Amino acid sequence: MYEFRVIAPGLDAETIKRAEAAAQAEFDAVGVKAWEAATAIFKLECTEKEYDIMDPNIPPRFGLTERGYNAAMAWMGAVHEAKKACYGDAGLNKRHEGWDFVAPRDREV
């Protein structure tokens, strides 16, 4: 398993653990690992200026396949669910100082 973390200054460890579980559920629903989703979202964001990245018919680019697209969407969903677990629905569109969803490390844990 590869590591990813939710960084949420000021929130307790239980809330952060709940946010990480919510994020992991998004990866599990699509059947991808966090590192695969992080790689896919990076590749997808590379095409952001040329294509609408939310379009499921985006042509393959930088090796992005249908599975890669789904993995990228899982990353976006994981970020959304983690933030929702931290701050609730009302906090989704607000900027929270120091909040981050950190990409997986390059080592197994």
For the stretch 82-98, pLDDT in tens is 999 999 988 888 888 88
| Dist CA 92 CA 66 (whole Å) | 28
The pLDDT value recorded for residue 94 is 83
DSSP tag of 47: T
Q: Is the pLDDT of residue 77 over 90?
A: yes
CA distances from 30 to 5, 11, 92, 106 (A): 19, 28, 22, 22
CA 95 to chain centre: 17
Task: Tell me the pLDDT band of 106, cut-offs 50, 70 and 90.
Answer: low
Contact present, 82 and 6 (Cβ < 8 Å): yes
Q: Is 70 helix (H, G, I), strand (E, B) or coil?
A: helix
Predicted confidence (pLDDT) per residue in 1-42, tens digit: 456 889 999 999 999 999 999 999 999 999 999 988 988 888
pLDDT for 109: 40
Dist. CA 20–CA 30, nearest whole Å: 16
pLDDT band at 58; cut points 50, 70, 90? low
Quote the pTM value.
0.79
